[in-house]
Amino acid sequence: MKKIRIGMVCPYGWDTPGGVQTHIKDLADHLIEEGHYVSVLTPVSDDSAKIADYVVNAGKPISIPVNGSVAKILFGPVASSRAKQWIASEDFDLLHLHEPAIPSLSLLACSAAEGPLVGTFHVSTQKKKAIYAIGPILEPIVEKLTARIAVSELARSTLKDHFDTDAVVIPNGIDGQRYANAKISTDYSGGHTVGFIGRFEESRKGLQVLLDSLAIVSRFIPDVVYLIAGPGDSESYLKDLNPQLQSRVKFLGLLTDDEKMSFLKTVQIYVAPNTGSESFGIILTEALSSGTAVVASDIPAFKAVLENGAAGDLFKNGDSADLAKVLVALLRDDERRKKLAENGKLSAQKYDWQVVAEQIEHVYEMAIASGDKVRLSSENRFWSRR
């Protein structure tokens, strides 16, 4: 593919942990390494936060509840003006807009621009009346897109259900070699270790389901340790835990990227007990690439990533007793745990950036085939208001 100038828009706060932000950062890094020019427009919560040279700070986001979580997004007239200035000041061959159908910078940029526009849809939601109510407003924006990508079949179904349009499915990518080559750390070893990473104060991440399994697991695996990483207040969880079990749980706080990779490489089992509202599950692919055995709830997104149990074990969603049964069996059987980890690592190869980025670049080539450049739409051009 020829070298092009790409404008990418991230809808969520850049300095807030999240799968979409990670995906955009890694994609931008990969494209830059290949020689493309990339500029990312995004909200940034902390003005003092260290950001890459290719990141353009559009302003501070606000927190709103979305899909069972809290999203930090930026919207409104000021954000719209900044998006237009960014588009006008760059000579982009293509805009890549992530989540252009939610109130965000991506929606504003899509509304303001013309030319080759690619949209990636990450979210999976059930049919909602609120979405249908504003559908007529959003549909013209979605229809402007030259090409559409969904990160999973679930995200694709959401797009089809809400906007009656289709997308090519390209999963989130990861740098598989970095996870495979991560260093084993003594900080995360000792005894039988079970790991979890996530914003655990969000109930849908399922930490309580995992903690509720500990009473059973520790009865059969006395040296088991649950290692919990991620942002949140651990005190509320510890105070509700049986005092005799508290030494079996360690909260590690927010990990750096290198610490996260070592964590996933070191723990014997990684558990994703999420209860719903997931369209993909990039943390699963990262754990699989690390060569770690994975156990996850049987929600549709995780079943898809784990190939219905071939690449990782599944337990009944929300059922801590069933989770305990799966964990005990896997912790007791070293050979099976090793085999499951090998299957998962092999399965994860299809999520490597070398594979995923090539698919995205094929979409880019189709989008720019007309030879048009990105420009402000006629009603948004500054000179049209004179």
Give the pLDDT mean for 247-255: 94
- Mean per-residue pLDDT over the chain, rounded: 90
pLDDT band at 132 (very low <50, low <70, confident <90, very high): very low
Q: Are residues 328 and 343 in the same domain?
A: yes
- Residue-wise pLDDT tens digits, 175-191: 999 999 999 999 999 88
Are 212 and 130 found together in one domain?
no
Does 101 lie in the same domain as 207? no
Same domain, 286 and 167: no
- Tell me, yes or no, whether 48 and 84 share the same domain: yes
> Residue 346 and residue 359: Cα distance in Å, rounded?
19
Torsion 224-269-318-321 (CA) sign: negative
Q: Are residues 166 and 183 in the same domain?
A: no
Do residues 164 and 182 both lie within one domain? no
Q: Which domain holds residue 239?
A: 176-350
∠ CA 57-60-61, nearest 5°, is: 115
Q: Find the DSSP H helices in the chain.
A: 19-33, 77-89, 105-112, 129-144, 153-163, 176-180, 207-212, 214-220, 235-239, 257-266, 282-289, 300-305, 320-332, 334-347, 353-367
Helices 282-289 and 19-33, axial angle in degrees (round to 10): 60
Other beta carbons within 10 Å of 37: 16
Question: 326 and 263, same structural domain?
Answer: yes
Inform me whether the pLDDT recorded for 58 exceeds 70: yes
Structure tokens at 357: 């980025």
pLDDT digits over 214-225, tens only?
A: 999 999 999 999
Same domain, 356 and 339: no
- Based on the domain organization, do 91 and 186 belong to the same domain? no
What angle separates helix 257-266 from helix 282-289, to the nearest 10 degrees?
A: 60
pLDDT band at 280 (very low <50, low <70, confident <90, very high): confident
Contact in structure between 76 and 138 (CB atoms under 8 Å): no
Domain CATH number, residue 262:
3.40.50.2000
Average pLDDT of span 359-363: 97
Residues 151 and 82 in one domain: yes
Q: What is the pLDDT of residue 356?
A: 96
How many structural domains comprise the chain? 2
Residues 42 and 101 in one domain: yes
List, for residues 18-36, the tens digit of each pLDDT value: 889 989 999 999 999 999 9
